[in-house]
Chain A
């Protein structure tokens, strides 16, 4: 499988087949909280895509050079200390704290930057940025990337990490926009009293998740189509 096919597959898989929200059930909080109006839901989706990309870039960099087993930086330090040229160190334990730390500070930085140089963008994103700083969907993307940096013989490159992150963000945007569209119409429905609000929202989310299960297996067909196309 060549790299192009691989990237497309990772992207499609993150966006549709293994949709973060509807398959892994991460990022449910904004998914339910900000899905009352399509406009704001779409804005939230874009903000998540944006932050998730930055977080993926940073977490790939940190994981690749510092956190993964046999990472170059700590191994070099250890080799210098111990004098064994082949020794390696595994700092994976630091991953969670490192990711949260890096995500939070980078989002803070981006917020300040956008506020200074793109005030209109800040106005539309501003509300959401702090909200998604510690969103589990973002942490989930980082951890997925880490998972694929564990085996030294089969490491993900930055491209694959970014494909996963952008795909995940796009998938989140799709899911939350559909959800918001449904919930806008849901306001006009005569929902039984005990189910109003969060109850019916969760039921709708569940039905959507089932619908998205229909994408299972699309990857095989897509892979075949892509390889035929590239031949």
Chain B
């Protein structure tokens, strides 16, 4: 009896002593080994959305915060945080930041499956990455493959594949660039949304009009009608496709005439639909013009060797 009691008491006392000792040691260590953390760093960490999407180019929000504090990077890189976040960051860092536009991805292709020609049977892995390595999966070497790499990359469920065309839901999109990075044909570009609804060019095909017509019902044939009507549409250098100059683009501009003139109806408004268009066009998206990058575009000269 006495034995049991002593064991019990001994056990209790030893554990209690240990707890007190360890608590004291840890408390002492906490004070002695205290490391000053920059209060700015903490504030920035709290201001960032914590989505860890990697859109800023850093591994996570924590690393981006460190880079900001170290002054190594811009404040405007966080797409999910948007303008509010930039404002907060600027306040914390005591820096003035000009207007920052939300950048949103735009798919520069409008052709649904039946609009595209030259389909061949493809039985490979069902990713654009794989299909893009094979010539002649479809006629157009620039357009959307519709196998959904962007959809898989999207953490926000903002992309759907409709009739073999990827469609972005701008109410869900936060602009993390994941889709733009993953698209093997580089037809998704980040576009500055000057208003909630902007005009974009919905084709990426850089070939001559005749060749475009062979592979697509709706592709841009490069007739330059748009650039004759407005300076916003530019054919840069050798480009056979207009690009919209978003520096001179203003949200209030009226492009109805241009859109009527365009024989392929190759430009679209994307983003938030107006009441008038809400039924007609709310799910369509259109691209801004892509700069050609032959390293990453499938083109017979590059691939058939």
Contacts and interface: CB of A to CB of B under 8 A. Distances in A.
A66 to B, nearest CB: 6
A17 B18 CA distance: 36
B10 A93 contact: no
Contacts of A115: 33, 35
Interface stretch (B23-31, B78-86, B110-118, B284-292): B23-31
A77 interface: yes
B22 interface: yes
A82 B29 contact: no
Contacts of A112: 26, 29-30, 33
A215 interface: no
B70 interface: no
B15 interface: yes
Interface stretch (A97-105, A155-163, A223-231): A97-105
Interface residues of B, number: 19
Interface string B78-103: 00000000000000000000000000
Nearest to A114: B33
Contact of B7 (A89, A101, A113): A89
Given A91-B7, A116-B35, A101 B29 contact: no
B43 interface: no
Contacts of A108: 26
A113 B18 contact: no
B278 interface: no
A91 B26 contact: no
A116 B33 CA distance: 5
Contacts of B33: 112-113, 115-117
Given A91-B10, A115-B33, A97 B15 contact: yes
Contacts, number: 56
A97 B12 CA distance: 12
A3 interface: no
Interface residues of A, number: 23
B2 A82 contact: yes
A78 B6 contact: yes
Contacts of A90: 7
A205 to B, nearest CB: 27
Interface string B27-44: 001101111000000000
B225 interface: no
A43 B15 CA distance: 33
A105 B11 contact: no
Interface in B15-67: 15, 18-19, 22, 25-26, 29-30, 32-35
Contact of A98 (B6, B15, B32): B15
B6 A82 contact: yes
A101 B18 contact: yes
A4 B26 CA distance: 37
A198 interface: no
Contacts of A91: 7, 10-11, 14
Contacts of A74: 7, 10, 14
B26 A89 contact: no
A24 interface: no
Contacts of A101: 15, 18-19, 22
B11 A113 contact: no
B29 A113 contact: yes
A77 to B, nearest CB: 6
Given A94-B14, A98-B15, A101-B18, A89 B6 contact: yes
Nearest to B13: A77
B88 to A, nearest CB: 27
Contacts of B15: 94, 97-98, 101
Contacts of A113: 29, 33
9 contacts: A74-B7, A77-B10, A82-B2, A93-B11, A101-B19, A102-B18, A109-B26, A113-B33, A115-B33
Interface of A: 66, 74, 77-78, 81-82, 89-91, 93-94, 97-98, 101-102, 105, 108-109, 112-113, 115-117
Interface of B: 2-3, 6-7, 10-11, 14-15, 18-19, 22, 25-26, 29-30, 32-35
4 nearest A-B residue pairs (beta carbon): A116-B33, A105-B22, A112-B33, A112-B29
